[in-house]
Amino acid sequence: MEAHEIDYKIHGEEMQHVEIELDPNETAIAESGAFMMMDEGVQMQTIFGDGTQQQGGLMGKLFSAGKRLLTGESLFMTAFTNIGQGKKKVHFASPYPGKIIAMNLSEMGGKLICQKDAFLCAAKGVSVGIEFQRKLGTGIFGGEGFIMQKLEGDGLAFVHAGGHVFERTLAPGEVLKIDTGCVVAYSQDIDFDIQMVGGIKNTIFGGEGLFFATLRGPGKVWIQSLPVSRLASRILAYGSFGRRKEEGSILGGLGNLLDGDGI
């Protein structure tokens, strides 16, 4: 498999977007809804799956698209092809505050495993599939369920995660314990498992959940500081009925007025 060789530039800080430069006849694929803007001469086409089965039969296309449903994504993706003369640019935006990370799959043995909603866009030729968790406990309690996304190929892929994202390289046998929601992606050599939080007080009163992920090297792992589920729960907590939970009805209204938030 040889993916298209695209050039790119990532713009922004908290709300980033990636600019992909396409040579004539080069194509980038993206999740539905990721598109931001493009130059004249770039053709947009909706396709089943990730485009790698477009030359196959009907069953191949349906299977490719069906795999995406299992990861919670749409049946369709969008392909952007430069049909004009000279270089053209297309931009894709992140869906919530965080970072966009460029992953060169040729430097990772051709495979990367990531959380289900992490994939943003890629060069045509990158396959977006599913990765089943081999261990029952990992699938049930691992935060991402039995299925994660699998990116395969030799081209560039772009993933997005919340808050700050950083990379950690694990030596052979080195173990890292992480909140299950903070795991963005990891290389194929990493052994991913879950472990129960020890101690009755930690379990009942810790507020960090009953399990955390354990990743054993060698390999690389990408970690996010703000899972979107954590962000959503905070927004719901502060937005319920327009009132903050920690304040009574009278003090709550007064506090909102003093803060400039209205009643």
The CATH number for 135's domain is 3.60.160.10
pLDDT for the residue numbered 202: 47
Residue 247 confidence (pLDDT) above 50: no
Residue 243 CB neighbour total at 10 angstroms: 16
Q: Is residue 78 part of a domain?
A: yes
User: Given the structure tokens 């990730």, which residue do they identify?
Assistant: 50
Give the mean model confidence (pLDDT) for residues 53-73. Answer: 55
* Confidence band of 47 (pLDDT split at 50, 70, 90): confident
Q: Is 29 exposed, middle or buried (0-12, 13-18, 19+ CB in 10 A)?
A: buried
Q: Is residue 261 part of a domain?
A: no
Mean pLDDT of the chain: 79
Range of the domain at 13: 7-226
Q: Is residue 233 part of a domain?
A: no
Residue 182 confidence (pLDDT) above 80: yes
Q: Is residue 255 part of a domain?
A: no
Out of 19-28, 56-65, 197-206, give the one with best mean pLDDT: 19-28
Tokens found for residue 260:
């400039």
Q: Is residue 210 part of a domain?
A: yes
pTM given for the model: 0.78
Window from 17-31, 85-99, 236-250 with minimum mean pLDDT: 236-250
Give how many domains the chain has, as a whole number. Answer: 1
Rounded-to-integer distance, Cα 192 and Cα 128, Å: 20
Residue 77 confidence (pLDDT) above 50: yes
Q: Is residue 72 part of a domain?
A: yes
Rounded-to-integer distance, Cα 60 and Cα 131, Å: 18
Give the mean model confidence (pLDDT) for residues 67-87. Answer: 78
Angle ∠(245,248,253) on CA atoms, nearest 5: 95
Q: Could you tell me which residues come within 8 angstroms of residue 183 by beta carbon, excluding any fewer than 6 positions away? A: 115, 143, 144, 192, 213, 215, 221, 222, 223, 224
Q: Is residue 158 part of a domain?
A: yes
Q: Is residue 31 part of a domain?
A: yes
Residue 53 confidence (pLDDT) above 70: no
User: Which uninterrupted H or E stretch holds 203?
Assistant: helix 200-205
pLDDT for the residue numbered 142: 46
